[in-house]
Amino acid sequence: MQSKYKVGDKVRIKSWEELLKIGKECYADQSIYFEEMHGYLDRDDSSLCGNVFKIRSISTLGKFFVDAPTHAIFCDNMVTPVTEEDKKPDLYLKYVKDDVVEHPSHYTTGNIEVWDYINDQNLDYFLGNAVKYISRDGKKDKSKEIEDLEKAVAYLNKKISILKENV
């Protein structure tokens, strides 16, 4: 089952009470299991409830993880879309803000994060860096758009040179 959300979307996790009503309790009220989509939230993660998070990754089965310190697996019926009120900067919670280390905005604009794509394709150092610079072209700093592309070309040229040496 596909999720109606995509990587980078911001969602609000429903309250623990709402989740208890729609989920199947298990493990003596310490966790909630969502049978139809295999979502799972542990009681230890209940502090996430009611807060807004950015979706970090989505499986082909429609389950997703959010940018939060948790191993919880979410599904569509566990969250609600972010409202216009949520989008006001003063209401953003700490997990919604751009994570400049783990998930910077210039690498999370598509349906898959750049490093996830590089890993999925098993790209080496040179090709991975070329993809990185092409992907962030002008997004990190618009004034360095040409520099980003030149860096990508430099990594591609280095890869070509290595391949030619080994022929």
Q: Which of 75, 97, 119 is the last residue of a domain?
A: 97
User: Could you tell me if 84 and 120 lie in one domain?
Assistant: no
What's the confidence (pLDDT) of residue 155? 95
What's the confidence (pLDDT) of residue 108? 60
Q: What is the DSSP string of the chain?
A: ---SS-TT-EEEEPPHHHHHHHSEEETTTTEEEETTTTEEEEGGGGGGTT-EEEEEEE-TTS-EEESSS---BB-GGGEEEPPTTTTSGGG--TTTS-BTTTB-GGG-SSSS-HHHHHHHTT--HHHHHHHHHHHTTTTS-GGGHHHHHHHHHHHHHHHHHHHHHT-
User: Could you tell me if 166 and 91 lie in one domain?
Assistant: no
Q: pLDDT (tens digit, 9 = 90+) per residue, 75-107? A: 888 888 877 665 554 434 444 445 655 666 666
What's the confidence (pLDDT) of residue 28? 46
Share of the chain above pLDDT 90, in %: 16
Residues 6+ apart with CB under 8 A from 120: 112
| Residue at 102 is within a domain | no
User: Could you tell me if 55 and 130 lie in one domain?
Assistant: no
User: Could you tell me if 125 and 78 lie in one domain?
Assistant: no
| Residue at 104 is within a domain | no
Cβ–Cβ contacts within 10 Å for residue 90, how many?
A: 4
Distance in angstroms between the alpha carbons of the first and the last residue of the chain:
47
Query: Residue 92's domain spans which residues?
Result: 1-97
How many domains does the chain fold into? 2
Residue in the structure block whose two tokens are 């969602």: 11
Buried b (16+ CB within 10 A) or exposed e, 64-85: bbbbbebebbbbbebbeebeee
User: Could you tell me if 15 and 82 lie in one domain?
Assistant: yes
Instruction: Please state the pTM of the whole predicted model.
Output: 0.47
Q: pLDDT (tens digit, 9 = 90+) per residue, 152-165? A: 999 999 999 999 99
Q: pLDDT (tens digit, 9 = 90+) per residue, 13-43? A: 888 778 777 776 554 445 666 655 456 677 6
Q: At what angle do helices 145-165 and 125-135 cross, to 10 degrees?
A: 160
